Structure 1
Amino acid sequence: MTVIDNDVDESRRSQLPQLLGDGLFVTDGGLETELIFHDGLDLPAFAAFPLLENAPGRARLRRYYEGFLDIARAHRAGFVMETPTWRANPDWAVELGYSTERLDAVNRAAVDLAEEVRSAAAVDGLTAVVSGCIGPRGDGYDPGEAMTAEEAQRYHSAQIETLATTSADQVTAITMTNVAEAIGVVRAASAAGIASAVSFTVETDGRLPTGQALQQAIEQVDAETDAAAAYFMVNCAHPTHFGGALEAGGAWLARVVGVRVNSSVRSHAELDAATELDEGNPDELAAGLAELRVHLPAVTVLGGCCGTDARHVAAIVSAWRAN
């Protein structure tokens, strides 16, 4: 098991401005769904990171992030720049024909792009955080044959160690379906010396795809990592899916700092089988999430996930601030 230095971990956390609690941070939306359904791009393995390797692709990514940075500008909010590396881990890289060296290079290129966005934010006096995005080893909707925590630590350490040697402020594990993989990510980040956040996805019943309750998942990760994660998030779910899981309250909610919602009320299975994008209604989505603010006192990071774009995130931020 990784030995975690709590003093070092506390220092890492204190450097993350979204944890200070006195400001709102905007993050992006459904990158891959926007590129596929709005732009008509072919993204094998649902991977956006190959776009970093050519000028038109980088330009498109830059425009994508600028749309969300504009929302931060409008609200004088911070910005969490999540790199387009959700699929940039070893198994997916092999499927896409990437060598270890090429994968390392593209993760670094993602941070270079993020620094361009950070510089643009700084011009307007906005605080931007660069987060290296870590995706699941398997499907983002299905835990499949889950790894042990030790296997997950070994598996994700390659990408995390690369990101830890860049200017990234943190790594964020997005769309985690099971606790063991989340624990492995947190341990790998601690060993590499970089702050980490974990974002769980839930089904329509508010539970992880493994059937575990969200509260139990967060508490278990904290218990088995000495609370080394900087914070937790929920993503790839509609507010109606996880609202009920928040109602009982509890100290664990202080660990939930970010939410990235889906536009659709459909289940993961229904979304996986869909051939058309379900964009939902941005205003209704925003209102539904804003109603949950009373249960989410620590949330400072707001964004979208599958099916959302800048319209949805703009509505979410406006409704949250007005509530």
Structure 2
Amino acid sequence: MKKHRENLPQRAGRLFLTDGGIETTLIYQEGLDLPYFAAFRLLQDETGRETLRRYYRRHAAIAVAHGTGFILESATWRASLDWADRIGMSAATLDEANRTAIDLLHGLRAELATEASPMVVSGCVGPRGDGYDAGTIMTVAEAHAYHGRQIDVFAHAGADMVTAITMTNVPEAIGVTLAATNAGMPVAISFTVETDGRLPTGQRLQDAISAVDEATGAAPAYYMINCAHPTHFVDQLPAGEAWVARVQGVRANASRCSHAELDRATELDAGDPVEFGTLYRDLRARHSHVNILGGCCGTDHRHIEQVVGHFRKAA
């Protein structure tokens, strides 16, 4: 089942796509009620699971049509103990949801992957707190213990890797990295940044990446940036610097709004998919090593189509 765990194909440099903003798509376009953005609730019944399959198929089809790789990211960003408790889900039921999330992706890979479009099954870990606000920061040991349970489920279910999405602070990122390493899992760390390109803690992205690498022996397979518009961080990635080479993926927001503005918003801001694709093209022109491209809040299949379309035109 763990087809790519020992050799992640996206590390070789070829283009890999991911999906868009799964929670915002399900809530605003599918009309689903997902308190706390808890998409993992859909894993509990066949109707919900089929909704997720349709979502993934639509995005994976773009990769297959263009001959790119694809990362199947599990719908488990909120599937950790604190968030499960908020919606009244037991720890045992949560574990089953995390297992089901990986099993669902294995089924989709068997259905959709081709020789030209390899697909990686990734177990998605989200922040213990709010993805827009660092809030109370755990110690490394606390983060290791908290996230270790979910990561162990992913490991036993046969996921290829772990991706920590929307990390707001360094101790939590280190804790996730150590938990994944202990479980024998490759891990990618994706930090979120504010409009000034800094983490919600105020720390520079460069310093955050350096701190995680120093504390873990550079254990993350690579880093990513997500949940921020490209204009919020592109100027913070100086070409040619060694730490920038560690940033291999981007899952940007559709909106130019700040996290605070998005938190107050009552309607979805899907931005401009065509402009979104142009910004990704320009980012790739400057940083050709960034080869994992997807979306976050407000993005959907239209944005991913524009991303790969602009890349193909540029090529």
Match for 2:47: what amino acid?
P
Structure 2 stretches lacking a partner, 5+ long: none
Q: Aligned pair 1:115/2:103, yes or no?
A: no
2: CA distance, partners of 1:249 / 1:176: 25
- Are the aligned partners of 1:179 and 1:221 in contact in 2 as well (CA < 8 Å)? yes
Match for 1:17: what amino acid?
P
Q: Aligned pair 1:146/2:137, yes or no?
A: yes
3-state SS in 1 of match to 2:193: coil
3-state SS in 1 of match to 2:113: helix
Aligned CA RMSD, in angstroms, stands at: 1.3
Deviation track 1:250-275 (CA, whole Å, cap 9, x = no partner) reads 10121111110110000000001100
Give the equivalent residue in structure 2 for 1:288: 279
- Are the aligned partners of 2:238 and 2:244 in contact in 1 as well (CA < 8 Å)? no
Structure 1 stretches lacking a partner, 5+ long: 1-11
Query: Judging changes above 3 Å, is the alpha-carbon distance between structure 1 residues 61 and 124 closer, same or farther for their aligned structure 2 residues?
Result: farther
Following superposition, the deviation at residue 200 of structure 1 comes to: 0.4
Give the equivalent residue in structure 2 for 1:85: 76
Q: Aligned pair 1:129/2:120, yes or no?
A: yes
Deviation track 1:22-71 (CA, whole Å, cap 9, x = no partner) reads x2111100111011111111101110001011111111100100111111
Taking the TM superposition and a 5 Å limit, the aligned residue runs for 1:23-38 are 23-38=14-29
Q: Aligned pair 1:15/2:7, yes or no?
A: yes
Following superposition, the deviation at residue 221 of structure 1 comes to: 0.5
- Are the aligned partners of 2:187 and 2:221 in contact in 1 as well (CA < 8 Å)? yes
Query: Judging changes above 3 Å, is the alpha-carbon distance between structure 1 residues 267 and 85 closer, same or farther for their aligned structure 2 residues?
Result: same
Q: Aligned pair 1:155/2:114, yes or no?
A: no
1: CA distance, partners of 2:177 / 2:241: 23
3-state SS in 1 of match to 2:224: strand
Query: Judging changes above 3 Å, is the alpha-carbon distance between structure 1 residues 123 and 320 closer, same or farther for their aligned structure 2 residues?
Result: closer
3-state SS in 2 of match to 1:165: helix
Of the candidates 193, 202, 205, which is equivalent to residue 202 of structure 1? 193
- Are the aligned partners of 1:254 and 1:297 in contact in 2 as well (CA < 8 Å)? no
Deviation track 1:87-141 (CA, whole Å, cap 9, x = no partner) reads 0011001111111111110000000110111112235752100000000000000
2: CA distance, partners of 1:248 / 1:111: 36
Report the more deviating stretch, 158-167 or 294-303: 294-303
1: CA distance, partners of 2:212 / 2:288: 20
- Are the aligned partners of 1:247 and 1:295 in contact in 2 as well (CA < 8 Å)? no
Deviation track 1:166-218 (CA, whole Å, cap 9, x = no partner) reads 11000000000111100000000011111110000000001111111111111
Following superposition, the deviation at residue 294 of structure 1 comes to: 3.5
Query: Judging changes above 3 Å, is the alpha-carbon distance between structure 1 residues 228 and 311 closer, same or farther for their aligned structure 2 residues?
Result: same
2: CA distance, partners of 1:226 / 1:195: 13
Query: Judging changes above 3 Å, is the alpha-carbon distance between structure 1 residues 13 and 58 closer, same or farther for their aligned structure 2 residues?
Result: closer
Following superposition, the deviation at residue 13 of structure 1 comes to: 7.4
2: CA distance, partners of 1:122 / 1:186: 28
2: CA distance, partners of 1:249 / 1:321: 24
3-state SS in 2 of match to 1:277: coil
- Are the aligned partners of 1:13 and 1:19 in contact in 2 as well (CA < 8 Å)? no
- Are the aligned partners of 1:18 and 1:301 in contact in 2 as well (CA < 8 Å)? yes
Match for 2:11: what amino acid?
L
Give the equivalent residue in structure 2 for 1:9: none
Once the two structures are aligned, what percentage of the paired residues are identical? 57
Match for 2:260: what amino acid?
A
| Matched pairs, number | 311
Following superposition, the deviation at residue 249 of structure 1 comes to: 3.9
3-state SS in 2 of match to 1:251: coil
- Are the aligned partners of 2:64 and 2:113 in contact in 1 as well (CA < 8 Å)? no
Match for 1:194: what amino acid?
M
Give the equivalent residue in structure 2 for 1:222: 213
Match for 1:15: what amino acid?
N
TM-score, normalization by structure 2: 0.96
Give the equivalent residue in structure 2 for 1:4: none
Match for 2:273: what amino acid?
P
Of the candidates 40, 45, 51, which is equivalent to residue 54 of structure 1? 45
Of the candidates 248, 256, 274, which is equivalent to residue 265 of structure 2? 274
Following superposition, the deviation at residue 312 of structure 1 comes to: 0.4
3-state SS in 1 of match to 2:243: helix
2: CA distance, partners of 1:291 / 1:125: 25
2: CA distance, partners of 1:293 / 1:123: 25
3-state SS in 1 of match to 2:249: strand
Match for 1:214: what amino acid?
L
Match for 1:114: what amino acid?
L
3-state SS in 1 of match to 2:94: helix
